[in-house]
Amino acid sequence: MCLLVSALSIFATLTSQTVANTTKTAFSSHPTSMKRVASPTLAFASSSIKRSFGISSSSVNMSTSTTEETPKKTKPPMYNFYNSLSHSWIEQLTSEDPENLEKSLASGGRSSKSRPVYNGHYVNVRPTPLKNPKLVVHSPELSSELGFGIGEEESESFIKYFSGDVDGAFENIDMSDIVDVDDSGMKIEKSIETWATPYALSIMGKRYTNNCPFGTGDGYGDGRAISVGEILVPKDGKKEGDIIEYPQSASRYELQLKGAGQTPFCRGADGRAVLRSSIREFLASEAMHHLGISTTRALSLIVSEDGDTSNRPWYSDNNNARELPSVDDPRLARYDEKQRREIISQLAAQQKSDPDMMVQEKNAITTRVASSFVRIGHLDLFARRVEMLSMKSKENKDIKQTSQYQELEDMMWHACYREYYNTAYAPYYEKKDAKSAALALLDGAMNNIAKMVGGWIRVGFVQGNFNADNCLVGGRTMDYGPFGFLDIYVSRCLC
């Protein structure tokens, strides 16, 4: 949390409580940005973003000279998903500008996947599809919540899309009647957007750059996680074809593939996940959800059957040679059963060993889902850049006119929009009151993260990698890499 406080405290010193009499919007493009908007209107409109769901603009009721009804066409698989795409991250934030992209390619080496990213909130990157993808498991509950039909997860389009082949999923499906309409009535073709994001790394409040491949911190980000879309799904009571509004009558979800291949932020690895770790991710996130703890969800797990593989370190049969005592061991006879189990558990924990062999494992991709994946590290990255700029400048009066400050403010407003619309965005955006919005964002994050950690303690969950780079400002558990559950409850110990 201290890094989030540090990031948001920038506004306490560099912004006034209300920016009045300004003709510049908080989300106007700065000179070096390449901001994309869905329409000529502001990406952040004062009213909620409106769109139609499940019905195209061309299928509006029209008067005809015949009384015969046109037979209703069966929607192809993934139709509703495609129709509900609504990419606020892309529309409201910026990508790296051409000058910095050229500088990045020169610094990282044009033949290298890994490269520094000097500015922008995202990089456009396509997933690397799995060969011979096969659905292993999916969550019917979450699938229904996202608007997929029964059995749709078995379709070729679903399996292709969520195994990384986002373009091939719609090769033989006509989606030409799906369009967006801007405020002027112009039709805009829908597109599939996929992206990875940069963020900063900090551990226990200490900022790190030393293990960045470039030594600057510009190489931290989504190394093998690629977002493959945001969707808007009508809340209960809304029918197909109704005009819906986010966030009042629609829920927003972001879908992200873990193990989808290399991005500019991968640090020498292949960007893949293997079946073993993917199963852990799927089961753990769904278990945490049903234990009542805020978490990212898992939609699907798809494996590359007799296709892509990766080498991973593992344990040989001789790795743990020392045998642990049993509860019936005579050396433990003077302890009661509960104490004996505690002793054995402690001995097992002390018997730490490292993998001593390499094994070849099947690649797999888990699709994880959340209302957003905005992290403390996203805010901290841009706060660091403003801080560095501020330290170089003797006067701070021009800081707010810089692209670095604009990116920080954009990121703050976006976090408010995605996670705390009613408390941090709606009351302050019209007034351009960045300071109050930042404080409300901090308050919401503090409460939700505290509640989440309290849930961990309740069920004995131990998060082994709880850093700023995987701590969501919405207060959801994520990144089920190193984690575990306590086998025995010990009242004097907290995890």
> So which residues are the catalytic ones?
469
Tokens (6 digits) for 21: 């009499």
DSSP secondary structure string for all residues of 219-288:
T-B-SSEEEEEEEEEE-TTPPTT-EEEETTTEEEEEEEEETB---TT--SS-SBEEHHHHHHHHHHHHHH
Q: SS in 3 state form for 294-357?
A: CECEEEEEEEECCCCEEEEEECCCCCCCCCCCCCCCHHHCCCCHHHHHHHHHHHHHHCCCCCCE
* Local structure of residue 45 (DSSP, 8 states): -
| Pairing mode of beta strands 483-485, 461-463 | antiparallel
CA atoms within 13 A on the CB side of 2: 6
**Alpha-carbon torsion 443, 444, 449, 455, what sign?**
positive
- 10 Å Cβ neighbour count for 406? 24
DSSP secondary structure string for all residues of 384-425: HHHHHHHHH-S--TTGGGSHHHHHHHHHHHHHHHHH-IIIII
Report helix angle 2-14 to 434-459, nearest 10: 170
Backbone angles phi, psi at 206, to 5 degrees: -95, 125
444 close to 1: Cβ distance less than 8 angstroms: no
Q: Considering only CA atoms, which of 326, 322, 329 is closest in space to residue 352? A: 322
Residues 460 and 293: beta-carbon distance below 8 Å? no
With beta carbons less than 8 A apart as the criterion, state whether 304 and 366 touch: no
In angstroms, the CA 257 to CA 301 distance is 10
Which of 144, 181, 171, 149 shows the shortest CA–CA distance to 56?
Answer: 181
